[in-house]
Chains A and B, each alone.
Chain A
Amino acid sequence: MNLSEYRALFISSTMILMLIVASPTLGLVVSLPSGERFSELWLLGPDHMADNYPFNVRAGEEYDVIVGVSCHMGRSAYYAVYVKLRNQTEPLPNASAAVASPVGPEYEYRFVVAEGQTWESKLIFAFSDVSVHDNVTLIRHLSLNGVTFEVDSTSLWNSDGKGFFYQVFFELWMYDTEAKSLEYNNRFVGLWLNMTV
Chain B
Amino acid sequence: MATLKPVALMFLILCCLIAPCTCTASGSEVQAALSRAEVGAGSAYGSVVEAETAGANVADLLLRLNDSLSMLAKAQVQYRVGNLDQALSLANQCFDSLSGIEAEASMMRETAISNGSQRTLISASLSASAIALVLASCFFGWVLFKRRFLRELMEMKPEVQARESE
Contact = CB atoms under 8 A, between A and B. Distances in A.
Contacts of B45: 78, 112, 175, 177
A18 interface: yes
A108 B77 contact: yes
Given A75-B53, A177-B45, A21 B134 contact: yes
Contact of A107 (B42, B53, B77, B134): B77
Consensus secondary structure, chain A interface: mixed
A108 B81 CA distance: 12
Contact of B49 (A10, A17, A22, A76): A76
Interface string A91-120: 000000000000001111111101000000
B86 to A, nearest CB: 11
Consensus secondary structure, chain B interface: helix
B123 interface: yes
A179 to B, nearest CB: 10
Interface in B75-123: 76-78, 80-81, 119-120, 123
B62 interface: yes
A52 interface: no
Interface residues of B, number: 40
B69 interface: yes
A189 interface: no
Nearest to B125: A25
A110 B62 CA distance: 12
Interface in B40-56: 41-42, 45-46, 48-49, 52-53
Contacts of A106: 80
A18 B81 contact: no
25 contacts: A6-B146, A10-B141, A14-B134, A22-B131, A25-B124, A25-B126, A29-B120, A76-B49, A76-B58, A78-B42, A106-B80, A109-B70, A109-B73, A110-B41, A110-B70, A110-B72, A111-B66, A112-B48, A112-B65, A147-B77, A147-B78, A149-B80, A150-B81, A180-B42, A180-B46
